[in-house]
Structure 1
Amino acid sequence: MPSPALYGALTALLFASSLPLTSPARDAPPSEARGTGLAARRAAAEGIAWAACPAAEQLPPSVLCGTVRVPLDYADPEGRRIPLTVSRAPASGPAAERQGALLFNPGGPGASSTYFPLAAGLPEWKRISASYDLVGYAPRGVGRSAPVSCEDPAGRATGPTPAPTSPSETYKKERIARAQTYAEGCARRTGAGLRHYHSLNNARDLEVLRAALGEPRLTYLGASYGTYIGGLYATLFPHRVRRMVLDAPVDPTPSKVWYGNNLAQSEAFEGRWLDFRTWVAKHDAVYGLGATARAVATSYDRARAALAARPAGGRVGPGQLHGAMLAAGYDDRFWPSRAAALSAYLKGDPEPLVAQAAPPADPAPDAGNGRAVYTAVECNDAPWPEEFAVWDRDNTALARRAPFETWDNAWMNLPCAYWKAPRQRPLDVRTGPGVLPPVLILAAERDAATPYAGALELHRRLAGSALVTERGAGTHGIAGGPNACVNGYLEDYLLGGALPRPSLDDSTPEMTPVRRASCAPHPEPDPVSLERGAAKTPAV
């Protein structure tokens, strides 16, 4: 999922402005390594023809767009090429202070960052945007970049849907059938090229984008899944890295890509769900949902039961309620609006909940593209259990202690059990001392989407990297967000290459020097002030 710290702020702005291998030669098959080099040289020669952005991008005239063509299959660079949509806002400062292009990937898989140049209008990005061209792009399969499709938008569910935390055998069989149909749809609608939508190719695409931008080395900001692409790039092309920020890192351990990571994510969401309920209970005078986290859970269960019996607005059932509340696990800025909607619903007013949770009645032509790309990349990237008995065993056990997100996450990924396209072997993301320029890693300690253990693991794997932690916080993606301390480290690194000073790590027998720093958490949301602001600003 995209970084909420940046994505949320840009959404408001948009509305207001209407896997151990050690060397690159061993990390990639020779044919694909040669293909990447050829594609990069070709892109450098072609460059990017910047022009006004297509209306579909919904970007202002200050942002320019272009296209970079990359091989669908890097083992066949002279074969079919696919277009990647790129967007750019030139650096606003003096030409003498320009440091090149800062390329952003927001994660997903399946998310586009063509909106990223709008960050130039945010106070938190003012100094960075003065020195860097802010560049976004739609990765392969996303949006207008050779889109992946797995189902007819007209056939997508518009609600209401169930969301059982203890699914019956009948319901499990229904979801197995749906997963099989979805996997078959991906193969049928996308065709033979489906096998080429994976993370290794996303990393190779970064190398081609770098060349097309005319940059001798890459300056990159990756959030969430974008950190995995960054880690792959750093392993494959360490000599091409200038500066790299990896925000809200996924655990790149090969054995955890992606089945194990999704189990860990489901467990972490239980803790973040508790954080949200604890906050709501603290403000019981405002919401009336209960003075303890357990009482708030009871109120939520009452709403689930009522919506199962009678969907709100005919479109919001337990599944839609869960989807709305899941957003609160990603970003605490959703807490006031979600708590207010739940409170209003239980008091007889379903409209706020319908406004926040109902799926669109008329799906857009590209509806489902994000999920299709997510599925293609995750299923192509690595082996998955192919027997539902394994999924059933693991998720049933996990749901006993983490019911909130476990089964919903399992259903989202279950098509990978029935995937027919060839799968990749995950690369071992790892660099030795002195191979890679220092990388800055940012992480929130209670991040649920990418649990903090992943940040520690990536920090260990990328020799010489630095880790900045926002303690006690859980927003998924913290670069450019409300924490001035985090933003200070981000600016110091991007503008001057500065990192936290090394210190001795007393958790290791040899007292290894490490670069780590901590920031206090940003303030929790204030329900009163934010509720007042909601009257002026549309809910996201």
Structure 2
Amino acid sequence: MKAVALCSAAASLLLTTLATAPAGGTAQDRSGVAELRGTVVAALRAGARKIHYGACDPADVPPVPHSPAGLRCGTVSVPLDYARPDGEQIRLTVSRTPATGEDGKRAVPRQGALVYNPGGPGASGMYFALAGTLPVWRHIAAAYDLVGYAPRGVGRSAPLSCADPKQFGKGPTEAPTHPSASYKRRRVAEAKAYARGCARRSGPGLRFFNSLNNARDLEVLRAALGEERLTFMGASYGTYYGSLYAAMFPSHVRRMVLDAAVDPDPAKIWYRGNLDQSVAFERRWADVRDWIARHDDVYRLGDTPKKVQAAYATAAARLARKPAGGKVGPGQLQNAFLTAGYYDDYWPSRAAALSAYLRGDPKPLVELAAPRAGSAAAAENGDAVYTAVECNDAPWPTNWAVWDRDNTRLARVAPFETWDNAWMNLPCAYWPAPRQRPPDVRTGPGALPPVLILAAERDAAAPYSGALEMNRRLAGSLLVTERGAGTHGIGGGPNDCVNGYLNDYLLGGRLPARNASCAPRAEPEPGRGRAAG
């Protein structure tokens, strides 16, 4: 799963619009007694120290017009290794905006802090403190302090690096759906070099950047915020370590929203989960092509999905011979349309750029897809954290023949993203740090307050089967499904039905009596949509 991809649509929308002791359980048993004790020690210290807030660094929270009153940032210290709470400490950056206390002309009592994580691994939630400036978050911002933070490794929170940012993410690149033997050998060599670079640039502490430690960090942050129980909303990858937190510290959960839930089955963390993701992306790519075909009068890319596929293949072949603007090759084209698989509102801009390119105007495609030097450092950091967390979290096949067999087979039926996904994760085959065994996330009846799970039925980055599995494993949880939709992350989006369930839960603790459904959001209108990727 790509780090850029495992970020919710709500997170993307925000960024674009804003320019008791832990209870027992299998997750806790696997987490280690020493680490458990270290978490208790770190949380007690954080609770005594609190967070000292000051002005936000623009590198952490970008300045925007009409920034909310009271926006402040600070740091919280956590152990690098929870088995040694007196050892090396790292600082996580935190942002916070106090509850407004009013919803329109109505006074609203404060309910505490709402902590948000947008996913990744490798994404920062620091911008979430700005969310109250958007109308859809107004009701929640009235009752809650909005708290975002950068997880370990991300941004200025003990940042990880695996490659020279100056050499990272340059174009043009290839994107063969059925790669040759020589191409595979080159990518294997690159994966080995990248894994070595992670060890060299990030040092011996690399092994401590993992999902269990992200869950422990969340417990320390809860204490530092002065909250007896945590109110948390996690999207995408944030649902996974949110579920780890729920299993490890159920009595410390007040309310929890898991949006675009990742499958927590240990067998799916993470190798099998990525294969499932590639299958789901093939379905979503079909949705994109179907929409473009239905608007052939606008884009002239073909009036059937098959014709749209042919137009895409023609563009990819042409870009392989002569990259657009010298920077956009088949790899950049594929990445631009990959993001369309995550977010519906990217469909018009991608279709328009492809149409223009095939008719002799490469400028829209270059503007849309060319690598940006100014974002290279952040992108490199995000990929490094993504790789470290997923490689550390679980065993991966270490024999290239296994990867080659599985992805060759899969690419025959799901060519769109299969090999791109494989190359992203292949460093895990050669990972230099010890790997963990994923914990078996489960909670028994009554152990955990009811959790709200949100999912789009055709989500590709977090296939719907994962939401069903999360629902089964967290006893008492309720699932709200956006039927027939595929945007990755649906809370805080344009669907009033979904947001009604979200607001009822966060503001009043009310959940439906049983799993519920919402009709899909409206499809994007042709000729409109965000161009940013």
Shorter-chain TM-score: what band?
Answer: over 0.9
- Aligned match of 1:511: none
Deviation at 1:7, TM superposition (A): 2.1
Contact 2:456 2:483 in 1 (8 A): yes
- Aligned match of 2:16: 12
Contact 1:107 1:225 in 2 (8 A): yes
- Aligned match of 2:233: 221
Map 1:518-529; keep pairs closer than 5 Å: 518-528=517-527
Change in CA separation of 1:415 and 1:24 when aligned onto 2, cut-off 3 Å: closer
Distance 1:9 1:77 in 2: 38
Report the AA paired with residue 134 of structure 1: L
Matched, 1:59 2:76: no
Distance 2:195 2:212 in 1: 21
Report the AA paired with residue 331 of structure 1: Y
Of 104, 114, 122, the residue aligned with 1:102 is 114
Matched, 1:342 2:354: yes
Distance 1:249 1:156 in 2: 30
Map 1:78-157; keep pairs closer than 5 Å: 78-93=86-101, 97-157=109-169
Map 1:121-520; keep pairs closer than 5 Å: 121-361=133-373, 364-501=376-513, 515-520=514-519
Contact 2:25 2:248 in 1 (8 A): no
Distance 2:202 2:130 in 1: 32
Deviation at 1:230, TM superposition (A): 0.6
- Aligned match of 2:82: 74
User: 1:418-470 CA deviation, whole Å, 9 max, x = no partner?
Assistant: 00101111011100000000000000000000000000000000000000000
Change in CA separation of 1:219 and 1:149 when aligned onto 2, cut-off 3 Å: same
- Aligned match of 1:510: none
Matched, 1:48 2:51: yes
- Aligned match of 2:42: 39
Report the AA paired with residue 28 of structure 1: S
Distance 2:469 2:389 in 1: 22
Contact 1:311 1:317 in 2 (8 A): yes
- Aligned match of 1:22: 25
SS in 2 for 1:109: coil
Distance 2:524 2:374 in 1: 33
Percent identity, aligned pairs only? Answer: 66
Contact 1:24 1:237 in 2 (8 A): no
SS in 2 for 1:407: helix
Normalised to the residue count of structure 1, the TM-score between the two structures is 0.94
Report the AA paired with residue 110 of structure 2: R
Report the AA paired with residue 158 of structure 1: K
Report the AA paired with residue 492 of structure 1: D
Count how many residue pairs are aligned between Structure 1 and Structure 2.
516
Contact 2:27 2:440 in 1 (8 A): no
Distance 1:161 1:283 in 2: 30
Deviation at 1:289, TM superposition (A): 0.2
Contact 1:109 1:377 in 2 (8 A): yes
Deviation at 1:361, TM superposition (A): 4.0
Deviation at 1:157, TM superposition (A): 4.2
Normalised to the residue count of structure 2, the TM-score between the two structures is 0.95
Contact 1:27 1:236 in 2 (8 A): no
Deviation at 1:56, TM superposition (A): 1.2
Contact 1:154 1:363 in 2 (8 A): no
Change in CA separation of 1:25 and 1:266 when aligned onto 2, cut-off 3 Å: closer
Tell me which moved more, 366-375 or 451-460. 366-375
Change in CA separation of 1:213 and 1:400 when aligned onto 2, cut-off 3 Å: same
Distance 1:23 1:310 in 2: 54
Tell me which moved more, 96-105 or 246-255. 96-105
Distance 1:483 1:422 in 2: 43
Distance 1:495 1:387 in 2: 50
User: 1:287-337 CA deviation, whole Å, 9 max, x = no partner?
Assistant: 000000010000000000000000000000000000000000000000000
Show structure 2 runs of 5+ residues with no match: none
Distance 2:108 2:136 in 1: 22
Deviation at 1:28, TM superposition (A): 2.5
Report the AA paired with residue 11 of structure 2: Y
Show structure 1 runs of 5+ residues with no match: 16-20, 502-514
Deviation at 1:8, TM superposition (A): 3.0
Contact 2:482 2:518 in 1 (8 A): yes
Distance 2:433 2:337 in 1: 34
Task: Quote the RMSD (CA, aligned, Å).
Answer: 1.4
Deviation at 1:23, TM superposition (A): 5.4
Tell me which moved more, 353-362 or 30-39. 353-362
Distance 2:40 2:281 in 1: 41
Distance 1:23 1:86 in 2: 30
Contact 1:445 1:470 in 2 (8 A): yes
Distance 1:362 1:26 in 2: 44
